[in-house]
């Protein structure tokens, strides 16, 4: 999905194509995977979902597979989309580097850092969006960047948010003017957006990912 960072919001953005009950059960599966590093069995899912039979679990799983939220491998074992895309990777933390004038540095292994845990505090309530447009460039958010959004956080004034304003989606700073919430760009060529009817915040941007060079 691509979220618009220009001042003209994107009508195509759709937060979800899964109902709340099914989303909660998917969250249970992903939470189990995060804690146990494996997918739950059908018996374990009866407990997770609070249902009495494996047949009920089968119907739930079938809906999740149909919606693309679960997959099966070549042997018929269940795979979670988060299990596929969120395998934890650790990188060596070797120190810090001066961003002003060059300074002497010596490589020292300080720690090993999980990129997932560094960037994503609440994986079950977080998602990525690709950015288009240039209205947030002075906040360091460029076209083709990926925004990490946490929908479990309570938005505060000054946060960068994904918001729906008068039916359209965009990414902006959340501000207050005359006691009312508005949206503000991080580029002086764009004006503030004052909702005519509604302003709904779908999530708070907690980080961005940018690729400078293709692998290989």
Q: Rounded CA gap, 84 and 102, in Å?
A: 40
Of the residues 82, 135, 144, 176, which is catalytic? 135
Residues whose CB falls within 8 Å of the CB of residue 28, separated by 6 or more in sequence, listed in order: 45, 48, 49
- Residue range 20-85 forms a domain whose CATH class is mainly alpha
Phi and psi based region of residue 178 (left: phi greater than 0; alpha: psi -120 to 50; beta: remaining): left
Span 46-103, pLDDT tens digits = 999 999 899 999 999 998 888 777 888 777 778 755 544 444 455 566 555 555 555 5
- Whether 172 sits among the annotated catalytic residues: the reply is yes
Place of tokens 């400078």: 212
CATH architecture entry for 2-13+121-209? Ribbon (2.10)
Instruction: Tell me, yes or no, if the pTM score tops 0.75.
Output: no
Domain boundaries, the chain: 2-13+121-209, 20-85
């Amino acid at each position: 999905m691509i979220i618009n960072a220009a001042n003209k919001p994107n009508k195509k953005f759709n937060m979800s194509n899964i109902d709340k009950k099914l989303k909660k059960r998917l969250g249970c599966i992903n939470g189990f995977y995060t804690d146990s590093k494996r997918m739950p069995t059908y018996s374990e899912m009866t407990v997770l979902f609070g249902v009495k039979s494996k047949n009920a679990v089968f119907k739930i799983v079938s809906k999740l597979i149909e919606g693309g939220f679960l997959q099966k491998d070549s042997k018929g074992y269940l795979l979670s989309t988060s299990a596929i895309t969120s395998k934890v990777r650790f990188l060596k933390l070797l120190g810090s580097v001066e961003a002003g004038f060059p300074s002497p540095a010596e490589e020292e292994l300080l720690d090993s850092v999980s990129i997932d845990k560094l960037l994503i505090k609440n994986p079950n309530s977080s998602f990525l969006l690709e950015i288009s447009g240039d209205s947030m460039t002075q906040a360091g958010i460029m076209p083709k960047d990926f925004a990490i959004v946490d929908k479990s956080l309570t938005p505060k004034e000054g946060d960068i948010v994904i918001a729906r304003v008068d039916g359209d989606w965009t990414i902006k700073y959340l501000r207050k003017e005359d006691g009312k919430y508005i949206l503000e760009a991080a580029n002086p060529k764009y004006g503030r957006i004052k909702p005519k009817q509604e302003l709904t915040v779908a999530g708070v941007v907690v980080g961005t990912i940018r690729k400078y060079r293709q692998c290989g």
